[in-house]
Amino acid sequence: MTSNAGENRRTVLTGAAALVGASALEAALSPTMGQVGASVAIPYGVAVQEDLLNADPRYLAAVKSNCQMIVAEGAMKMGGIQPQRGKFAFQGGDNLVAFAHANGMQIRGHTLVWYAANPEWVKEISTPLEAERELVRHIEGVVSHFKGRIKSWDVVNEPIAEEPAHNRDLRRSVWLQHLGPRYLEIALRTAAAVDPGLQLVINEFNIETNDKVQRRRRDTILTLLRDLKQKGVPLGALGFQGHLHGHLPIDKDAVSQLVADVKALGLDVLVTELDVIDNQLAADPAQRDVAIASRVSDFLGAIAAAARPTAVLTWGITDRYTWVPMYFKRADGSRNRPLPLDAEYVRKPMMRVVQDFCRSGA
C-alpha cells in the first residue's frame, strides 16, 4: 500500500469512526509500519510513556502499528531508575523492554547521564571521588541490567551549555561541578567496558538553525566530539534530538556539514527526539500541519544529504501526550500539534514525511 493510499484509508476510517462510533483502536491504525519493519531502510521509533501502554488502548495500537523501535521517555532516567542511592528500580524499564521484544521492536536507552531528572540524593555528593564512584556505579548497574536487550544508549544527554560562551562551554550539572569535562569520558568508558557492543550516543538539541546561538552550539558539540575521539574515548554516534522550532528555517547546508564532519570522525548519526514546536505557527491546524511536515522534511533531507541516520525517533506519537506545552503553550489556547498523529490519533502530514523517509532511506 502506498502512503497516499494509507492516508486516504485513514481519512475514510476516521470519518467512519466518527459517524458510527467505531472502535477508537481502528482510528489509530496506519499503514502498519510496524508490520513492514523488515522492509524499511531506517527503523522508525517513538518515545513511549510506559503507563500509557496500559491506560490508553489507542496509544498502544498506534505504537504497535507504526514503530520498529521505542525509547523510554522517562522510565530509564536516573531519578526513576535509582531513586535511592544504591537501590535500582528497573520495573518500568523492564516493562518497556518486554513490550518491545514481544512486538518485534528494538529499544533504545535514554539516558544514563543528564543534568536533569536526577534523584534528590545526588545533591548530597560533595567530592570528586564520590561523584566518580556514583557515576560509575549508576552506569554499571543500568547498562549491565539491560545488557543484550538494549543495544543503543544515550550515554550523555545535552552536555553543552544552553548558550555556549565559547566552543568548550559545557552545561552545568552535578557531574561537571565535581568532575569537570572528564565526566563524559568516565561515562563513555564505563558504558563501553560493561557492554563493548553498545552504540554509545551523545544526544543534543538546538543544532539545526542559522540562529547565532545554534551556530555556536554546532561548533561546541563538534569540538566536544573531536576532543573525545582524539583521546580515544569510545563513542558511536551523535544523536540529533530534533526538537525543531516551527518558525525557524532549517539551515540545511549547516546540518549536512555537521553530519559530514561527524561521519568524518568515524561516528554515526541518528534522530532521537523529533517533534516540531509550533507555538509560533499559524492557528489554522491544516496550515500548521503542512508547515510542520515541511520543517521535518527539510531536517531529515539535510541529514540524509550527508549520511543515512541509523534510526529516526519522534518524541512521542500523538499530540495527546507531548512535553511541548510544558514550555511552549500557544497564546491562542489551541493545542500544540508537534507529533505525527493528532490528539485523536489521526495521521498528519508529518507521519507521511517520516515514514516515507524511513522506507526509502532518503
CA distances from 180 to 16, 48, 129 (A): 59, 32, 12
Q: Which of 323, 345, 355, 357 binds ligand G3I (CB under 6 A)?
A: 323
Q: Measured between alpha carbons, how far is 157 from 141 in angstroms, rounded to an integer?
A: 18
Cβ 323 to ligand G3I shortest distance, Å: 3
Q: Residue 241 interacts with ligand G3I (CB under 6 A)?
A: yes
Q: Which of 50, 185, 273, 289 binds ligand G3I (CB under 6 A)?
A: 273
Comparison of 14 and 157: residue with beta carbon closer to ligand G3I = 157
Comparison of 27 and 221: residue with beta carbon closer to ligand G3I = 221
Q: Measured between alpha carbons, how far is 111 from 118 in angstroms, rounded to an integer?
A: 11
Residue nearest to ligand G3I (CB): 323
Cβ 158 to ligand G3I shortest distance, Å: 6
Comparison of 66 and 118: residue with beta carbon closer to ligand G3I = 118
Cβ 16 to ligand G3I shortest distance, Å: 33
Contact present, 26 and 57 (Cβ < 8 Å): no
Q: Measured between alpha carbons, how far is 174 from 285 in angstroms, rounded to an integer?
A: 41
Cβ 175 to ligand G3I shortest distance, Å: 16
Q: How many residues bind ligand G3I (CB under 6 A)?
A: 9
Cβ 206 to ligand G3I shortest distance, Å: 10
Comparison of 116 and 283: residue with beta carbon closer to ligand G3I = 116
Site for ligand G3I in 97-116 (CB under 6 A): 116
Contact present, 330 and 279 (Cβ < 8 Å): yes
Q: Residue 248 interacts with ligand G3I (CB under 6 A)?
A: no
Site mask for ligand G3I (CB under 6 A), range 150-169, x = bound:
-------x------------
Comparison of 80 and 309: residue with beta carbon closer to ligand G3I = 80
Helix (H) or strand (E) holding 204: strand 199-204
Find the part of the chain contacting ligand G3I (CB under 6 A) among 11-19, 71-79, 229-237, 338-346: 71-79
Q: Measured between alpha carbons, how far is 45 from 34 in angstroms, rounded to an integer?
A: 9
Q: How many CB atoms lie within 10 A of CB 261?
A: 17
Q: Residue 134 interacts with ligand G3I (CB under 6 A)?
A: no
Site for ligand G3I in 283-312 (CB under 6 A): none
Find the part of the chain contacting ligand G3I (CB under 6 A) among 24-32, 54-62, 73-81, 160-168: 73-81
Contact present, 139 and 99 (Cβ < 8 Å): no
Residues β-bridged to residue 47? 71
Contact present, 214 and 207 (Cβ < 8 Å): yes
Q: Which of 25, 57, 74, 248 binds ligand G3I (CB under 6 A)?
A: 74
Comparison of 3 and 206: residue with beta carbon closer to ligand G3I = 206
Q: Grid coordinates in use for 80? A: 526513576
What type of residue is 179? L
From start to end of 30-149, where are the E strands? 44-48, 69-72, 106-113
Residues β-bridged to residue 347? 341
Find the part of the chain contacting ligand G3I (CB under 6 A) among 69-77, 95-103, 229-237, 304-312: 69-77
Q: Residue 314 interacts with ligand G3I (CB under 6 A)?
A: no
Q: Grid coordinates in use for 3? A: 502512503
Q: Residue 73 interacts with ligand G3I (CB under 6 A)?
A: yes
Residues β-bridged to residue 72? 48
**230 exposure class (CB count in 10 Å sphere: 0-12, 13-18, 19+):** exposed
Q: Measured between alpha carbons, how far is 252 from 275 in angstroms, rounded to an integer?
A: 17
Give the binding site for ligand G3I (CB under 6 A): 73-74, 77, 116-117, 157, 241, 273, 323
